[in-house]
Amino acid sequence: MMHGGATAGSPGSPRGIALLLAALALLGPAPASRADETRHAQSIVFPELPPRSVGDDPFPLVAKASSGLAVSFQVVDGPAVLDGKNLRLTESPGLVIVRASQEGNPAFAPAKPEVRAFSVNPRPSAPAFFTQPVSVRAELGSIIVLTAAVSGYPAPALQWRKDGVALAGETDRTLTIPAAGLAAQGSYDLVASNPSGSLGSSRAQVQVTKRRQFIAFQGPTSAVAGQPLPVGASASSGLPVRLEVLSGSATLSGGTLLSQAGIVVLQASQAGDSVYEPAADATEMITVGPPPSGQRLP
């Protein structure tokens, strides 16, 4: 779940809060008059306010003036309202700033206001997946990436599992399997947990297959009867290729074709190995013309 970060000078940043509180704290009473000089000074003790969550019950604000006079409160900013001396949260998360003040009387000068701030966290909620991991079919040696996205507050702790067994260290929303081998095959899911509950994602099946390969012929596609013709084919895997005459009056020795006039069809095959699947058979048609006039075939 993505949360936008506050910039260094924005009201929601630590620096912004500090500047705001400092400015508010300076909003004390006006400079003392001659009458104030005859009055006693007083101060306010206003304890820090702990974080709350949306949906919490109203709670009393408690502050004391050294004079014993009643302290008044004001919500300077944030998702809360005063109900007498009780503070009632609204249905929104955010930062609440409260000021406590005491304006004095004939015996006591006004106190310097005290400002407190606390965060209102989102309402606690159980994990819920809004993006599920997707099954993957990949070749040996390829990179496999599984990902999921989950909501919930507090932010859920995450744990990937393979065939129901937790994978050590895999606690992010994305699971990466580099250079996947056959052992990577299995069923994967992501478990999300917070104090409100635990939930597993849908299972993603990972299937790892051998690499595919293909065959390509090299050499000319026409020849003269009775004259040796070098032929060849290669596999994209680099594995050796087997050549044979599929049709036509010709013989193949190593990589040399000797044929009578007509159409010769060669076939190339590669059976694969522990890494590569068998290649699809490939064929090549070679047109063999008659020998030059007066030349006898061997």
| Residue 280 domain flag | yes
DSSP 40: B
The pLDDT score that the predictor gives to residue 284 is 96
The answer to whether residues 201 and 221 belong to one domain is: no
CA dihedral 119, 124, 130, 131 (to 10 degrees): 80
| Residue 8 domain flag | no
Consecutive H or E run containing 44: strand 44-45
The answer to whether residues 116 and 168 belong to one domain is: no
Q: Give 115's contacts (C-beta < 8 A, 6+ positions apart).
A: 21, 24, 25, 76, 97, 98, 99, 100
3-state secondary structure 96-148: EEEEEECCCCCCECCCCCEEEEEEEECCCEEEEEEECCCCEEEECCCCEEEEC
The answer to whether residues 111 and 22 belong to one domain is: yes
| Residue 297 domain flag | no
The answer to whether residues 182 and 102 belong to one domain is: no
The pLDDT score that the predictor gives to residue 10 is 46
The answer to whether residues 131 and 90 belong to one domain is: no
pLDDT tens digits, the chain, 298 residues: what are they?
A: 333 334 444 445 544 554 455 455 545 554 555 555 689 999 999 999 999 999 999 999 999 999 999 999 999 999 999 998 899 999 899 999 999 999 999 999 999 999 999 999 999 999 999 999 999 999 999 999 999 999 999 999 999 999 999 999 999 999 999 999 999 999 999 999 999 999 999 999 999 999 999 999 998 999 999 999 999 999 999 999 999 999 999 999 989 999 999 999 999 999 999 999 999 999 999 999 998 875 555 5
The answer to whether residues 202 and 232 belong to one domain is: no
The answer to whether residues 115 and 150 belong to one domain is: no
Can you tell me the distance from the alpha carbon of 211 to that of 270, in angstroms, rounded to the nearest whole number? 13
Instruction: Give the closest residue to 88 by CA, choosing from 97, 79, 101, 76.
Output: 79
Can you tell me the distance from the alpha carbon of 190 to that of 271, in angstroms, rounded to the nearest whole number? 39
The pLDDT score that the predictor gives to residue 297 is 53
The answer to whether residues 223 and 198 belong to one domain is: no
The answer to whether residues 24 and 115 belong to one domain is: yes
The pLDDT score that the predictor gives to residue 291 is 87
- Domain hosting 23: range is 14-121
| Residue 75 domain flag | yes
The CATH number linked to 281 is 2.60.40
Can you tell me the distance from the alpha carbon of 212 to that of 225, in angstroms, rounded to the nearest whole number? 37
| Residue 2 domain flag | no
| Residue 45 domain flag | yes
The answer to whether residues 183 and 266 belong to one domain is: no
- Final residue before a domain boundary, out of 72, 105, 121: 121
- Final residue before a domain boundary, out of 167, 182, 209: 209
| Residue 113 domain flag | yes
Number of domains into which the chain is organized: 3
Which tokens go with 187?
Answer: 């069923």
The answer to whether residues 102 and 187 belong to one domain is: no
What value does the CA radius of gyration of the chain take, rounded to a whole number of Å?
41
DSSP 261: S
Can you tell me the distance from the alpha carbon of 114 to that of 60, in angstroms, rounded to the nearest whole number? 16
Which tokens go with 72?
Answer: 């008044």
Can you tell me the distance from the alpha carbon of 244 to that of 257, in angstroms, rounded to the nearest whole number? 10
- Final residue before a domain boundary, out of 176, 194, 209: 209
| Residue 54 domain flag | yes
Per DSSP, the residues of 197-257 read EEEE---EEEEEEPBP--EEEES-SEEETTS-EE-EEEETT----EEEEEESSEEEETTEE
Beta bridge mates, 218: 232
The answer to whether residues 92 and 168 belong to one domain is: no
The CATH number linked to 78 is 2.60.40.10
CA dihedral 59, 61, 62, 65 (to 10 degrees): -170
